[in-house]
Structure 1
Amino acid sequence: MRMIMKFLRENIYAAVLMLLLRLYVGWEWLYAGYHKLANGFDAKGYLTGAVAKPVADQTGEVIYPTFTAFLKHFALPNVKLFNFMIPLGEALIGIGLILGALTAAAAFFGLLMNFMFLFAGTISTNPWLVLLGGLIMIAGANGGRLGIDYYAKPYLRKLFHKEASGGTRTNIKTG
């Protein structure tokens, strides 16, 4: 297992594999988001159906009662917010993965959305995208090595290091 992790996180051939996975998964996300943005999107029917027929076991007991409560008491009353966030989120995840920009974050939010769809009972391509998105996320920085992350990572590291140290660097001489 350690060898596989090292390969995914450090190997240039794994970076090429991650590029191919990113392009495929990114296209799937971008297409889904663009389709919703271009043609209009209303999540009300989907959310209402997910609340009316939640995922249940053979006895009829709801498997994800907390998620169903979230849909009923937060998502449905704020459906206009979700009508905006879902298509925009899908498109941004796709753009991030395709360009290799904030790749691990894009993969994480893609996984989060896929799991939300699965909790609501939608199977579709979600398990497949969870698997591929998980591989991209596990690859970490190597997932975006052949993308914008390669150029942005040093800048972001410097920016966050500067911010973490209070914005200024001082040398203290002892002696």
Structure 2
Amino acid sequence: MMLAWLKNNKYVAMLMVVVRVYLGYQWIVGGWHKLTGGFDATGFLTNAINNPVADKTTNELVYPNFVYFIEHFAMPNVKLFNILIPIGELLVGIGLIVGGLTAAAAFFGLLMNFMFMFAGTLNTNPWLVLLGGIVLIAGTNAGRYGLDYYLIPLLRKTLKFKKLDGGGKMTPTGTAKAH
């Protein structure tokens, strides 16, 4: 019932505009500062490797797979991450503000927030995760009063998908569904 309310209610969609713009602004500011301020992730990644999140009583790593990823993939490719992170933050912010591919923007924003938290950075990340999760759950309703109003029907038509069937699944056009 709550999910249906989040996904379909027009008043929720209006509230999502406020949440989207706030969240998008936070992402744009972060991305813009990195793009214009000479961002280099080397120090952040080095700190995440040298001071990983660990259980204080057992001194065991909380996210050993993430530390492995940073050490063996992110650090050797830091120049790529120096480009991907600021541009990704900027694109997430733009998508949220204009309401274009809103659910995808929220998803990638959440992905980045979780990566920052796995590295031990808290600051505003939990707050942004909460708001981003609500936007993601609201799905296309979050972009109802935005670019998604025009974009989603166009994508459905272009990709030849119908609206959601009774079971909540996208179905290709011309395909019969057995219930």
Q: Give the alignment's TM-score, normalised by structure 2.
A: 0.89
Q: Deviations over 1:4-29 (max 9, x none)?
A: 21111111100011100000000000
1:130 counterpart residue number: 129
Q: Give the alignment's TM-score, normalised by structure 1.
A: 0.91
Post-superposition, which runs of at least 4 consecutive aligned residues in structure 1 deviate over 6 A?
none
1:108 counterpart residue number: 107
Distance 2:118 2:132 in 1: 17
Any idea what SS the aligned residue of 1:147 has?
coil
Distance 1:154 1:12 in 2: 17
Unpaired runs of 5+ residues, structure 1, are: 171-175
Unpaired runs of 5+ residues, structure 2, are: 162-170, 175-179
1:148 counterpart residue number: 147
2:164 counterpart residue number: none
2:6 counterpart residue number: 8
Of 39, 44, 67, 2:42 maps to 44
RMSD: 1.5
What is the deviation of 1:39?
1.1
Any idea what SS the aligned residue of 1:158 has?
helix
Distance 1:142 1:54 in 2: 38
**Quick one: percent identity of the two aligned structures?**
59
Any idea what SS the aligned residue of 2:103 has?
helix
